[in-house]
A and B are shown apart, each in its own frame.
Chain A
Amino acid sequence: MSWLSDDAIFRLQTATALPDLSATRYRIVERIASGGMGTVYLAEDSVLGRRVALKILDVPDTSGELAARLLREAKILARLEHPGIIPVHGAGTLADGRVFYAMKLVEGQRLDELVSRGESLPHRLRLFQRVCDAVAFAHARKILHRDLKPENIMVGPFGEVLVMDWGIAKSLRGGGSLDAAMEPNEGSLARDTSDSAITAHGAILGTPGYMAPEQERGEVGSLDERSDVYSLGAILQYLLKTGLDSSANAPRPLAAIARKAMASNPADRYTSAGELGLDVARYLDGLPVSAYPENIWRRAARWAVRYRVAIVLVLTYLIIRALLLLWFRR
């Protein structure tokens, strides 16, 4: 047996880790990221001549549970065709036995990276609205994300927002072969090396700080759209607090919206992501929000802000008129 140098070991490690795409239409360009479920590579689609992202299972798994999980993720994405949800192009098995799926290559920044560099509050709120739209769409298709957080939201260079990482998504429907394929085998999900928490039952929950109390308690069966609403509320709170002037408090209506979304009791939250997004839209339009009841003074102040242009014009008119009167009288 010939001796292997350290360089040789490194080369062999690389050769072993690199996926064998010879039987596919894709060619690896570089590795982008590694996560709990697999590694994401930047690849070139040789047929369509475009760049894609490939999520590939790291190791061949003998029981097939990891492979099934990855493919389930791909099927969920395939079912959710929405501008705010990462589109999947295809899935399959590599020559070396590893399962993969191809998705759109997102070139942009994660939401947490974006806000740490600034970005005005109205811009953040508009991005947040789009996230709510995407999640509402998924809910309409009876899919829960279960791991919503700023790190799982990408913002493209043209302001497009994409919700990523549907790895622990769950279908709310029961029955039907497609939906059966959507059900995660929660008791047997393998330990995940991502930062998602794991209960003693072996079911993956989500991310601490962003997951709903009922999710944290492991009440997997009782999760519904409002669990995702909680996570969205946590994201909104994050947007209100991070990277902005720390001395200024968040506007009260927005703080109230976040509080309502993050109520401990699901019955006290917004019933849907759409409702939450609508309240944020109303705030942006200068309208009253459902989470923040107004007294007469607050309503007047809001009106004054909303119609400030007309008020300025009327005052301008009055000043000019007063000046004219004085001129006539001299």
Chain B
Amino acid sequence: MNKIVYGLILGGILGIFDGLTAWFTPAVRSQLLMIVVGSTIKGIIAGVLIGFFAKKVNSLPLGILFGLAVGLALAFAVAAMPDPTGNHYYFQIMLPGGLVGLIVGYATQRYGSSIAPARTQS
């Protein structure tokens, strides 16, 4: 599996979980579905970007930093939008977002293939 696909899948899965944890915040529970969808898309986008970076740059520290930065940036873009009551949840959104980016950054540097796939196909 190449790094971009690996990042996409991992980012997507983490995005789903990320979105689901919004259930623990009662104030936004009513918008859970939208949050999950949005979070998943955010995770996928982050995963693709980080995976692409990992394909081009082979450096674990840089990969992690890039992942963190992308995760934080995308999470910031979401957190900048206030909820219907006008509240922002910068901390609650950016912290896990950054964490997702960090994990995906690590995973895409260490795993996934940056060359053409081997002869065995699943």
* Interface pair A281/B120, CB less than 8 Å apart: yes
**A287 in contact with B92 given A316-B103, A321-B21 (CB within 8 Å):** no
Chain B residues with CB below 8 A from A325, complex form:
21, 24
Chain B residues with CB below 8 A from A282, complex form:
120
A303 (CB) vs chain B CBs: closest residue: B122
Smallest beta-carbon distance B59→chain A, Å: 19
B37 at the A interface (CB under 8 A): no
Instruction: Fill in one digit per residue for A309-330: 1 if any B CB lies within 8 Å of its CB, else 0.
Output: 1100110111011001100110
* Interface pair B14/A309, CB less than 8 Å apart: no
Smallest beta-carbon distance B99→chain A, Å: 6
**A314 in contact with B96 given A281-B120, A325-B21 (CB within 8 Å):** no
CA–CA, A41 and B38, complex, Å: 74
Smallest beta-carbon distance B1→chain A, Å: 9
A7 at the B interface (CB under 8 A): no
Chain B residues with CB below 8 A from A321, complex form:
17-18, 21, 96, 99
Instruction: Fill in one digit per residue for B10-50: 1 if any A CB lies within 8 Å of its CB, else 0.
Output: 10011001100100100000000000000000000000000
Chain B residues with CB below 8 A from A318, complex form:
17
CA–CA, A272 and B92, complex, Å: 59
In the complex, which of the residues A288, A313, A328 contacts B103, with contact meaning CB atoms closer than 8 Å? A313
Q: How many B residues are at the interface, by size bracket?
A: 20 to 34
Smallest beta-carbon distance A78→chain B, Å: 29
**A324 in contact with B95 given A310-B10, A313-B103, A314-B10 (CB within 8 Å):** yes
Chain B residues with CB below 8 A from A324, complex form:
95-96
- Is the contact region of chain B dominated by helix, strand, or loop, or is it mixed? helix
A263 at the B interface (CB under 8 A): no
A278 at the B interface (CB under 8 A): yes
Smallest beta-carbon distance A320→chain B, Å: 6
Q: B69-112: which residues lie under 8 A (CB-CB) from chain A?
A: 92, 95-96, 99-100, 103, 106-107, 110-111
Chain B residues with CB below 8 A from A329, complex form:
24
**A285 in contact with B120 given A310-B10, A321-B17 (CB within 8 Å):** yes
Chain A residues with CB below 8 A from B103, complex form:
313, 316-317
* Interface pair A310/B120, CB less than 8 Å apart: no
In the complex, which of the residues A285, A310, A317 contacts B118, with contact meaning CB atoms closer than 8 Å? A285
CA–CA, A325 and B95, complex, Å: 11
* Interface pair A278/B120, CB less than 8 Å apart: yes
A284 (CB) vs chain B CBs: closest residue: B120
In the complex, which of the residues A287, A310, A320, A328 contacts B99, with contact meaning CB atoms closer than 8 Å? A320
Interface core residue of B9, B24, B107, B120 (most chain A CB under 10 Å): B120
In the complex, which of the residues B13, B95, B111, B118 contacts A309, with contact meaning CB atoms closer than 8 Å? B111
Instruction: Fill in one digit per residue for A277-313: 1 if any B CB lies within 8 Å of its CB, else 0.
Output: 0100110010110000000000000000000011001
* Interface pair A314/B120, CB less than 8 Å apart: no
**A310 in contact with B96 given A278-B120, A282-B120, A321-B17 (CB within 8 Å):** no
B17 (CB) vs chain A CBs: closest residue: A318
**A314 in contact with B17 given A309-B107, A321-B96, A325-B24 (CB within 8 Å):** yes
Nearest 9 interchain pairs by C-beta = A285-B120, A282-B120, A313-B103, A325-B24, A287-B122, A313-B107, A317-B103, A317-B14, A287-B120
CB<8 Å pairs between A and B, sample of 20: A278-B119, A278-B120, A285-B118, A285-B120, A287-B120, A287-B122, A288-B122, A309-B110, A310-B6, A310-B13, A310-B111, A313-B103, A314-B10, A317-B17, A317-B100, A317-B103, A318-B17, A321-B17, A328-B92, A329-B24
Known pairs A287-B120, A316-B103, A317-B17 / 19 extra A-B pairs, C-beta < 8 Å: A278-B119, A278-B120, A281-B119, A281-B120, A285-B120, A288-B122, A309-B107, A309-B110, A309-B111, A310-B9, A310-B111, A313-B103, A313-B107, A314-B13, A314-B14, A317-B14, A317-B100, A320-B99, A321-B96
